[in-house]
Structure 1
Amino acid sequence: MPVMKAQSVQTSHLEPASVSDTEAVPLSDLRGLLEQAIESLGYTEKEVDVIVEAIMWSQLRGNSQGVIKIPSGAFALPPGAGPAVVVQDSPGIASIDGQQCLGMLALHRATKLAVAKAKQGGVGVVGVNNTASTTGALGHWVEQIAEAGMVGVIMCQSPEYVAPHGSTEAIFGTNPIALGCPSDEGPFLIDLATSAQSWYSLFEAKEKGETVGGDIGYDALGDPTTDPGKILDGGAIRTFDRSYKGSALALMVEILGGALAGGAVEDKGAARNWGSLVAAIDPASLGGAAAFRARVSTLLRRVKAARPASGVAEIRLPGENSAQLAERCRAAGVVPMSSRLYEQLRAAAASESGRRASAAAPPSNADHQTSVSPEQPSTSYAQQNGAAGGRPGYAMATRLVHPPKVTSDPYGAVSPPLYQTATFEQVSAVECGPYDYSRSGNPTRTQLEAHIAQLEGAARSFAFGSGMAALSAVLRLVRSGEHVVAGDDIYGGTSRLLTRVAPDLGISVSNVDTSDAQALREAMIPGKTKLVMLESPTNPRMNICDIAGLTAIAHEGGALVVVDNSILAPTFQQPLALGADIVMTSATKFIAGHSDVTGGLLSVKDPQLAERIYFYQNAEGSALGPFDCWLAMRGLKTMALRMERQAATAALIANWLQAHPLVRKVNYPGLPSHPGHALHAAQASSGGSLLSFETGSVEASRVIAEEAELFKITVSFGSCSSLISLPCYMSHASIPAALRAARGLPDDLVRISVGIEDPTDLLSDLDRAMRKAMEKIGMEAAVPGIDLHEAQTGTQRERQLLQRIAELEAQLQQT
């Protein structure tokens, strides 16, 4: 007899609804409506998939964690919600700060992380805190652990809904617990609330106008009631067995799922900090996975074959009824649902259709940040940068100032403390605290990494001693005999890594023009290409590639995608939201911002991939030191202000250079004349503050760099100070001259990194230096003087023209 994928269901105390009130909803229709309804709340495509799958799992089983949660508002996110981030990590145990994200998403991440740890070390335990919304049916998540061949245990707390036995005052949550394990016939699951009835089943009964059993709960006065509304309105639910045993189990879930995981233990509704604990155990670590599965199957068969008591027709396994219901629904292709609930779901989905219809017109370049003068802040900046990965919440500038709280501080310092230490004293000789050695972890680094993960919309972020150390860790993901594809206009250090280090590791590399999608497709070697490395804009020619499009091609070929986003940082572009797997941002540049830190940051979307990156960071000792982490955190607070000012000035300089007789070509994606301008505007919110130009004369370019007084001759960019360089003689000098020529990188190229100085002073300084250069090469220096007001009004005229074009396009679409 096959063992059921079983989930125990609460004994129903609801009066059955009449058949006329129930509709058979096609599963395909249900999924489509759910996707539209959840998408309307602002979730990303991948988040929608996770949430819908959890809802479908419950709905198929008649579980109260299904569609009923849509009209109850369970999926709405509070302002400022961020992605769940790992804040403490060790080989077998981790802690996740949910940052008020949807509980389902936090539990999804915790489940994957626990399984990954169990595969590596036999046991994985993950605590989750700082969530205040639905986790869905725990059976859904524990089934995933069992399907991975592990034994799973999950428990979570919730606000005060349940009274301890003998009391009428709510102290506990409904505190569900789920356990699962593999068997030869498939996962076996138990999922039960420690309350007599779940909160949502009471809500569902209230919505239907039904009553519940008289022993389910109390009203606000402490009297037993059959009215679910009175139980929910200040009353209390009883424990599932109405005895001290059930009360004891609820208490232990409160302790392990709440107190141990870091959740609140009093006034949980106001604290909005509900905890969960996820554990995965690999049976292979205890003597063999196959033998364990066989023993489980034997036990389950014995239970099914046990002699029934008088009046019992069949011994049922926990959850067998709900599992059979799910199978019948799948076979029929429909699921039963009340007409009222179905109508509410359709209304929620319709609101998404209307929202998308109103937003169907393409965005106008009139709101592109590169076309905005300092006096005209763009509203699209706040809209496009509201949160990493498109998540609703505070604007980027606000989140830069207010990092997530992931480390404890008894004194409440406004500026995060600096833990400038190599080692940490332990609790005892046999018990370790959360930190032991700063190579493996340091509270200051934890704070920086959690903040960056929130800004990037990543599962985890990692701080390295340099950007090249970070990219070297990414290269570790590629094995000998495998293949990497990279752009042909890349940072000199990256080029050195790929041309001189990668071959020694047995890794082959192809360089292509990433503005040509077909070139990437042709460079991919089936079964061998494992990594695609992108830059957009590129350094130093400022070429643009379609990050989302190239990522799709790479993923089709089974390759990971890493994007060097140092030129724009998460302030202006978020590659993970465009589909990339990893984003690297140099902390040396805009993040620290003051030319006093050398560092690199990796942000990783997938938790299991993040585990691999952490292993290399720790094993190879490449982590950023605590003081540099502290300086980077300080820089984050002013990053938006600095980058906005720098980008606005860069746009003025680019426009001025474009009209200069000494300049043959300006490379700046914020210029409408740039060939990648439209694509750049679609995936980034600013042209940034890095630009390059050609003069046609190496001597002229040399004089410009040497005569400029406010532009320091040096490599790098993103500093408060303006910088100037000739890349072929500095940052890209390690690339052979013949290869530079083949890639279209001319020796006369001048690169400028615009600082935060006064725009007029910078333009005047450049003007003087360029006049000197023109004299040096015998060119007439008849150049009009600098008129900053005219440059700004020209930009304003450009904005007005773009706005008018957008209006005409909208009118055409309506006709």
Structure 2
Amino acid sequence: MHNWSLKSSIKTHCLDTPRFLPLKTCQKTSSWDLLVALKHCTVQVRSPSRQLLQSRISAMSGVNGSARSVSGTTSAPQELEVKIAVEELKQLCTSGLRALGHSEQDCSVIADVLMYAQLRGNNQGIIKIPTGGVDRLPEQKPPTVEHETRLSALINGNDSAGIVTLHNAMQLAKVKCREAGFGIVGTNHTSSSTGALGYYVSEIAKDGLLGFAMATSPEFVAPHGARQPVFGTNPIACAVPSGSGAPLVVDMATSAYTLFGLFEAKTAGRDIPEGVAYDSQGLPTTDPAAALPTAGGAIRVFDRSHKGSALALLVELLAGAAVSAAVEDKMSEKNWGNLIVAVDPGLLGDPAAFRSRVDAVLRRVKSAATVPGVDEVILPGERGDKIMEECLRTGMITVEANLLRDLRAVAARAPAVRQPAAASGRRLSTRLLHMASSVEDAYGPSAPPIYQTATFKQPSSTENGPYDYTRSGNPTRTMLEEFMAQLENADRGLAFTSGMAALTAVCRLCGSGDHIVAGDDLYGGTSRLLSWSVPNQGVEVSNVDTTDIAAVRAAIRPGQTKLVMLESPTNPRMQVCDLKALCELAHSVGAIVCVDNSIMAPIYQRPIELGADICMTSATKFIGGHSDVTAGILTVKGEELAGRLAFFQNAEGAGLAPFDSWLCLRGLKTMALRMEKQVANCEKIVKFLEAHPLVKRVNYPGSPSSDPAGYEIQRRQADNGGSLVSFTTDNVEVSKRIVEDTKLFKVTVSFGNVVSQISLPCFMSHASIPAEVRAARGLPDDLVRISCGIEDAEDLIADLDQAMKGAMQSVGMNPTQPDASDRLAPSSREAELMQKVADLEARLRAMEGAQQS
């Protein structure tokens, strides 16, 4: 029987399960549930509020407030909470996962999901690490896509972590939804927890999509009227985007309690609420140990009725039977299922109008007249969000002491790794001059020293120092590698003798029988590597238009594609790829993503932050900046992956020399200053080119008239359009005349120099690509590429102008009296032409009308 007077005393009505409780969101709505949950909360309700609430609850309900010891006997009440910095807890979480054997990439994903729950007071958090909920199985393999259509996919987890598998499914569902408005992905063959489903659906909703998820697990929950466990805790979640803030997230278990709630209560030595579980005899119990399935106990369905049992059964069918997961003896089969769905509300109308209607509904619920004694109506997820906001505001979180002790014990077993330096919060131009390094010099030089040596003295004949042979490592190179990792927010940096040496090491990650997907508009050297060298390793390469996500998805071979290589903007056509979406697509099938970021550099675009595993920057370009050094730098997410690449760097002798490393270090100091001027010059030159009669098309990602779709993507993922532009004239001889008649532009390959450069890529940087392949990829011979330097923009434009006037004369155009339409940008010329056509049609209709009359 519900105790409605208690609700008046607590002054709240719970549409949301209090997410600071050891219960999943929205699984409780009654006053009695609120009573027992608050009674047994130890983490988030703080004194004196907690003491006040508990004293009221005890006085009104008479429920015993004793704590249970770990052995199961009762003892005096204990306050076993400690505060810890949020960032420290996340680091402990990551270390614990590393100790369990997870890769760095998987650690990052799992930690994000667990911390999502922990910050909201949800017991799907860090409790999973010391209790076996996210253990890594020795036999696990990366998840693979076993069945796929345009709208759907089925992923075999191959015994990988449930969180990682469902994360891949979420990414793939979003990709399909972006392409077709709907995406549904099922998973099977996982045998560890998927964590709080609210995380996955909220990630979907951040993209303006509707998200749905459900998951099965081993037999922990008894159907209504039974004492034998048949169901899992079978959570279900939904997220709805709103127009005024965070999405509405409903995340609830179909069980009255969660398995990890039992573990948490047992660890803390406290009772569980009455009525949520049975012991082995089918009798109600408050002893978490007796309720565990290993003791023959069972958890009850969330509402203790046939309705809750029916919902649990529905999840069992949709996230179990429908996805080919185990339906009997799920624990021994280790084959648990999940289902995740993404839906574009635009399928049913205007998405903006939909979000506006969502806001209207939520406002109506929040403003509904309350019953006496209730101050406000609480929406699903609202309490958890407030708890998270408070944790992030203060930087502190409260954790049960025994749990923290156990987590520290697991984390202590983690192998040591080099941590990337934390970002200081300063702007990039400042960080370039004040970056930290592990390299120390006794004399405190104001400029980094050049350790120009091949070998280093060792401490003794049986001890090794930090450096021994420069091929394996050198302090000057270490400084450069550390600085680049800091700029990219990566875990590690690796400096190579050239950009191509760096990309060659990346391709070494693939072996015979593997498959690489790469763009069809690539730097010529990269194209040569992928078409001539890599196939000799037994690796197959597919080149596709990476601006077309559907084409990339069609090219990927689940289980065989191990690497996706991207450029954005591409070289030399300046096409823009949606890096975030492509990373999600690649990761959904277990592929690694490498992005060549040479055109933007970390000053204006950071692919690691967009989801890439590896970022390659040609330091020959903007980092060196003066065309006096050849180098390439990889920045890598994940120490394990970085370690593999470092092995190739050392084994193949591709590490950057000390003096070249020093030149890059010097260049970094002025990189932001140079690039700012180069971009400003380029934007002025683009306007000049767009208005010139000789120019048929301008390729520049910072101009909406060049490629509107690409321009919008570039705005999202980069700070500007960069300092490279290409254009066509539809006449090779005209383009050749322009290039050769300029005075200030160096006719040469490469880009990023302080001196402006101009070239015909098809005859220079991309000449190694066969002519028929260039034509098939839309790379015309008349394409001119300009890399803007730091000269005065007016001088550069005047130089181009005189060269183009000469080219106009060569084809019989009058450079002094161009047609009025020639002064217009291509889009304006088209508009004027269409207007002339319309005027002619109107005159013809008038003439026809006059004749008929």
Query: Normalising by the residue count of structure 2, what TM-score does the alignment of the two structures yield?
Result: 0.52
* Native 8 Å contact 2:495 2:655 kept in 1: yes
Deviation, structure 1 residue 778 = 2.2
CA contact (8 A) 1:463 1:624 kept: yes
Alpha-carbon displacement from aligned partner over 1:686-711 (angstroms, at most 9, x marks no partner): 10001100011111111111111110
Return the alpha-carbon distance in structure 2 between the equivalents of residues 687 and 466 of structure 1: 25
User: Does structure 2 retain, via aligned residues, the 8 Å contact 1:484–1:530?
Assistant: yes
Which residue of structure 2 lines up, in the alignment, with residue 596 of structure 1?
628
Return closer, same or farther for 1:28/1:117 CA change in 2, 3 Å cut-off.
closer
| Structure 1 residues not aligned, in runs of 5+ | 1-18, 32-37, 39-59, 76-101, 120-133, 151-318, 335-341, 355-387, 785-789, 795-815
Task: For residue 615 of structure 1, give the secondary structure of its aligned residue in structure 2.
Answer: helix
Residues 1:559 and 2:591 are matched in the alignment:
yes
Summarize deviations over 1:35-71 as a string: whole Å, max 9, x none.
xxx9xxxxxxxxxxxxxxxxxxxxx9999997844xx
- How far apart are the structure 2 equivalents of 1:417 and 1:63? 58
Residue 686 of structure 2 corresponds to which residue in structure 1?
A: 654
1:730 pairs with 2:764: yes
Q: Where does 1:711-750 land on structure 2 (aligned, <5 Å)?
A: 711-750=745-784
The 8 Å contact of residues 97 and 129 in structure 2, kept in 1 or not, is answered as no
User: Deviation digits for residues 593-626 of structure 1, max 9, x if unmatched?
Assistant: 1111101111111111111111111111111111
Contact map agreement 2:422 2:486 (CA 8 A) in 1 = no
Cα root mean square deviation, aligned:
4.2
Question: Which residue, 681, 684, 691 being the options, matches 2:715?
Answer: 681
SS at match of 2:469: coil
Contact 1:564–1:583 (8 Å) recurs in 2? yes
2:660 corresponds to 1:664 = no
Q: SS state of the match for residue 646, structure 1?
A: helix
Number of positions where the alignment pairs a residue of Structure 1 with one of Structure 2: 491
- Checking the alignment, whether the CA contact within 8 Å between 2:423 and 2:486 is kept in structure 1 is no
Q: Please name the residue that 1:427 is paired with.
A: 459
Letter in 2 for 1:659: A
2:676 is equivalent to residue 639 of structure 1:
no
Q: Does 1:469 align with 2:501?
A: yes
CA offsets, 1:337-392, max 9 Å, x none?
Answer: xxxxx9997644357999xxxxxxxxxxxxxxxxxxxxxxxxxxxxxxxxx99977
Rounded Cα–Cα distance in structure 1 between residues aligned with 2:421 and 2:270:
39
Cα distance change, pair 147–488 in 1 and its aligned pair in 2 (3 A):
same
Matches within 5 A, 1:191-270: none
Q: Distance in 2 between matches of 1:481 and 1:518?
A: 24
Give the aligned partner of residue 626 of structure 1. 658
**Deviation of residue 108 (structure 1)?**
5.7
Question: Hey, what's the Cα distance between the residues in 2 that align with 1:390 and 1:681?
Answer: 26
Distance (Å, rounded) in 1 between the aligned partners of 2:631 and 2:78: 49
1:690 matched to which residue of 2? 724
TM-aligned CA distance change 1:437 to 1:144, over 3 Å: farther
Structure 1 residues 622-631 or 403-412, which shifts more?
403-412
Distance 1:148 1:428 in 2: 40
Distance 1:513 1:614 in 2: 31
Choose from 548, 556, 576 the match for 1:544: 576
CA contact (8 A) 1:112 1:608 kept: no
Report the 3-state secondary structure (helix = DSSP H, G, I; strand = E; otherwise coil) of the residue aligned with 2:24.
helix
Q: 1:555 to 1:140 in 2, by over 3 A?
A: closer
Partner of 1:459 in structure 2? 491
Q: How far 1:403 sits from its partner (Å)?
A: 1.2
Bigger Cα Rg:
2
* 2:24 aligned partner: 28
Aligned CA distance change for structure 1 residues 624 and 528 (closer, same or farther; 3 Å): same
Equivalence for 1:126: none
2:812 maps to 1:778 = yes
Cα distance in structure 2, aligned partners of 1:621 and 1:592: 21
SS in 2 for 1:666: strand
Residues 321/574 of structure 1: CA separation in 2 closer, same or farther (3 Å cut):
closer
SS of equivalent to 2:797: helix
CA distance in 1, matches of 2:102, 2:545: 39
Q: Which amino acid aligns with 1:418?
A: I
AA at the equivalent of 1:749: L
Q: Distance in 2 between matches of 1:627 and 1:325?
A: 66
Work out whether residues 480 and 505 of structure 1, in 8 Å CA contact, stay in contact via their aligned partners in 2: yes
1:700 aligned to which of 734, 749, 761:
734
CA distance in 2, matches of 1:750, 1:430: 59
Paired letter, 2:448 = P
Q: Deviations over 1:187-208 (max 9, x none)?
A: xxxxxxxxxxxxxxxxxxxxxx
- Of all paired residues, the percent bearing the same amino acid is 52
Match of 2:482 in 1: 450
How far, CA to CA, are the matches of 1:118 and 1:533 in structure 2?
Answer: 21
In structure 2, the partner of 1:176 is: none
- 1:699/1:777 contact within 8 Å kept: no
Distance in 1, Cα, partners of 2:78 & 2:669: 46
The one-letter code of the counterpart of 2:605 is Q
Structure-2 residue corresponding to 1:606: 638
Gaps of 5+ in 2: 1-8, 12-16, 28-43, 45-68, 71-76, 105-118, 120-124, 139-264, 273-287, 293-298, 303-380, 394-419, 819-823, 829-853
Partners of 2:616 and 2:631 lie apart in 1 by 11
Deviations 1:387-434 (A, max 9, x none): x99977111111111111211112221211111111100111111111
Secondary structure of the corresponding residue to residue 739 of structure 1: helix
2:540 equivalent to 1:508 = yes
Q: Could you say which residue in structure 2 is the equivalent of 1:88?
A: none
Structure 1-normalised TM-score?
Answer: 0.55
Structure 2 residue aligned with 1:286: none
**Residue 141 (structure 1) shift:** 7.5
Deviation at 1:773, TM superposition (A): 1.4
Q: Is the 8 A contact 2:102 2:136 kept in 1?
A: no
CA distance in 1 between partners of 2:705 and 2:718 (Å): 17
Check the 8 A contact 1:107/1:141 in 2, yes or no.
no
Deviation at 1:782, TM superposition (A): 2.5
**Is this contact kept in 1: 2:566–2:593, CA < 8 A?**
yes
Q: CA deviation at 1:566?
A: 0.3
Contact 2:726/2:786, CA 8 A, preserved across alignment? yes
What residue is the counterpart of 1:521 in the other structure?
A: 553
Give the whole-Å Cα distance in 2 for the aligned partners of 1:669 and 1:28: 46
Distance in 1 (alpha carbons) for counterparts of 2:646 and 2:455: 19
2:582 and 2:450 map into 1 onto residues whose CA distance is 40
SS at 1:591's partner residue? coil
Contact 1:67/1:345 (8 A) holds in 2: no
Question: Counterparts of 2:270 and 2:565 in 1: how far apart (Å)?
Answer: 48
1:656 shift after superposition: 0.6
* Distance (whole Å) between structure 2 residues aligned to residue 626 and residue 113 of structure 1: 33
In the alignment, which of 338, 349, 352 is matched to residue 388 of structure 2?
349
Helix, strand or coil at the partner of 1:589: coil
Mapped to 1, the partners of 2:134 and 2:82 lie a distance apart of 25
Q: Give the Cα–Cα distance (whole angstroms) in 1 for the partners of residues 762 and 78 of structure 2.
A: 65
CA distance in 2, matches of 1:578, 1:766: 37
Query: Which string of whole-angstrom CA distances, capped at 9 and with x for unpartnered residues, describes residues 488-537 of structure 1?
Result: 10000010011001111111111111111100011111211111111110
Matched residue, 2:840: none
CA–CA distance in structure 2, aligned partners of residues 652 and 549 of structure 1:
31
Shift of 1:746: 0.5
SS in structure 1 of the partner of residue 730 of structure 2: coil
Pick the aligned partner of 2:610 from 547, 572, 578: 578
Distance 1:325 1:745, change over 3 A: farther
Letter in 1 for 2:792: D
- Answer whether contact 2:101 2:136 (CA < 8 A) is retained: no
Asked if residue 532 in structure 1 is aligned to residue 564 in structure 2, the reply is: yes
Q: Equivalences for 1:233-312 in 2 at 5 Å?
A: none
Deviation string 1:52-93 (CA, Å, 9 cap, x unpaired) is xxxxxxxx9999997844xxxx33xxxxxxxxxxxxxxxxxx
What's the CA shift for 1:739?
0.4
| 8 Å CA contact 1:484, 1:529 repeated in 2 | yes
